[in-house]
Amino acid sequence: MAGINVHKMLHSLILGCLISPVWAAPVQVQNVRIWAAPDSTRVVFDLSGPVQHEVTVAGDPDRVVVDIEGALTPTNSSQPEGHDRFLRHVNTVPFDLGARFVLDLKKTAVAKSFQLGPNQHYGHRLVLDLGDVQDEQSADEPVAPTAPTSDERRDIIIAVDAGHGGDDPGARGPKGTWEKNITLQMARVLAAKINAEPGMRAVLTREGDYFLPLRKRMDMARRHKADLFVSIHADAFRDRRVQGSSVYVLSDRGASSEHARWLAEQENASDLIGGVSLDVEDDVLASVLLDLSQTASLEASIDVAERVLQGLRKIGRLHKHRVESAGFMVLKSPDIPSILVEAAYISNPDEEAKLRSPPHQQKIAEAILSGLRGYFTARAPEGTTLAAIRRHVIGRGDTLSGIAQQYRVSLDTLRQANRINGDQIRVGQVLTIPSAGDG
């Protein structure tokens, strides 16, 4: 076996097994599910109960062996799709002590495994995450930003976050619509609209149906130097009559309403549903630090949230007429203003139908965009293309020639830039002020 590099990654011991009878009915591996993300692949083994398992990573050829002690092999096993970066094939092989899975890899990978207890959607699970070797060390290193040169103006970057994904499906509508699919569709529509705006560019945190830990979503926004983080969700409630859109900002002082608190618990549970191995102590410390640095962007978050809420008010019913605050973990991106949009109630049959309708998805995205546009028009970050576009809101007593003088542009240039023929202007009208060199 020379040349084969074998190391044990994780060996989990379930204490319950020590006291429960060893000869109890064997655990059944009911299904094997595979979720391929751009930089990782998750394999989920659905189990009839907790197990003892062992994961071994081997090289030459690259593969991962998963032994599940005393378990029966499944009748169902998915195979990876062609675009999977890590997994080539899943083999179920006979094994004296239980079920053995040999995962043929396309490349060398690191493997992490952990078990999850039942939740509202799934039973016991053994989760195996495959990732790039170098990701282990470089995960916390920020990517060096490409700094614009002094005369180069950059686009405003908006991180559009489709809630949930993969084995975290989110809420479910009465017709069986999963929140994770709606959020991805709406995120794509919103991103396309943002990309069609001059001076704005969208970055999608999730681009397919896979699980993405909340922290990774924030890291992506930070790595892309996003100016704003918008997380898209669809609300759900036991009472199917409840409906309307809501917009949330993060609060470190507790939730603004009972429902906000309940909702934050549901959404934060995403990492528990999807499963992520967190170092608990590190996490508490990190969230305290994040809370402290969040204060600076909270005011900005409220501003943009109010504008988005105004936009949504025009297309339908609001659940609450004020911006709500709650302790959403996904919003804890220091220094990046962040909002969470619950587009509608997927649990309400009418709103479920609307959420599925492409024309209505367009309307929701347009409403959100109108809020973003208003916010960035008023508060374009320095150095951006949008900041270079000056605007003047006509007040009482303003004249076209007076405005031209004020901004040191010619009257004709001002007329041309705003397609005005005479001198007629009205209060509240927004004029684009061309830079002195234009025209």
Per CB under 5 A, the segment of 62-70, 108-116, 159-167, 357-365 that binds Zn ion is 159-167
The amino acid that residue 55 corresponds to is V
CB 310 within 8 A of CB 369: no
Identity of the residue, 341 or 386, whose beta carbon is nearer to Zn ion in the bound complex = 341
CA 305/CA 298 separation, integer angstroms: 10
Residue 53 sits in the site that holds Zn ion (CB under 5 A): no
Per CB under 5 A, the segment of 7-15, 225-233, 257-265, 417-425 that binds Zn ion is 225-233
CB of 47 to Zn ion, least distance (A): 26
Identity of the residue, 346 or 400, whose beta carbon is nearer to Zn ion in the bound complex = 346
Helix 179-196 / helix 349-356 crossing angle, nearest 10 deg: 50
Radius of gyration for the alpha carbons in the chain, expressed in angstroms and rounded: 26
Per CB under 5 A, the segment of 20-28, 167-175, 244-252, 392-400 that binds Zn ion is 167-175
Residue 163 sits in the site that holds Zn ion (CB under 5 A): yes
CB 174 within 8 A of CB 349: yes
Per CB under 5 A, the segment of 21-29, 46-54, 117-125, 166-174 that binds Zn ion is 166-174
Residue 170 sits in the site that holds Zn ion (CB under 5 A): yes
The residue count for the chain: 439
Residue 337 sits in the site that holds Zn ion (CB under 5 A): no
How far is residue 360 CA from its own chain's centroid?
Answer: 21
Nearest Cα neighbor of 111 from 167, 67, 49, 174 is 67
Within residues 262-291, the interface with Zn ion by CB under 5 A covers 267
Per CB under 5 A, the segment of 57-65, 93-101, 162-170, 190-198 that binds Zn ion is 162-170
Identity of the residue, 129 or 342, whose beta carbon is nearer to Zn ion in the bound complex = 342
CA 209/CA 275 separation, integer angstroms: 15
How far is residue 296 CA from its own chain's centroid?
Answer: 22
Question: Which one among 206, 233, 319, 363 touches Zn ion, defined by CB under 5 A?
Answer: 233
Identity of the residue, 188 or 233, whose beta carbon is nearer to Zn ion in the bound complex = 233
Residue 206 sits in the site that holds Zn ion (CB under 5 A): no
Residue 166 sits in the site that holds Zn ion (CB under 5 A): no
Question: Environment class of residue 374 by beta-carbon count within 10 Å: exposed (0-12), middle (13-18) or buried (19+)?
Answer: middle
Q: Decide: helix, strand or coil at residue 53.
A: strand
Token reading at 347? 């649990």
CB of 169 to Zn ion, least distance (A): 10
CB of 233 to Zn ion, least distance (A): 3
Q: What is the dihedral of CA 423, 429, 435, 438, to 10 degrees?
A: -50
Q: 78: part of which helix (H) or strand (E)?
A: none
Token reading at 17? 């097994």
Q: Decide: helix, strand or coil at residue 68.
A: strand
For Zn ion, the nearest residue by Cβ is: 233
Residue 165 sits in the site that holds Zn ion (CB under 5 A): no
Residues that bind Zn ion (CB under 5 A): 163, 170, 233, 267
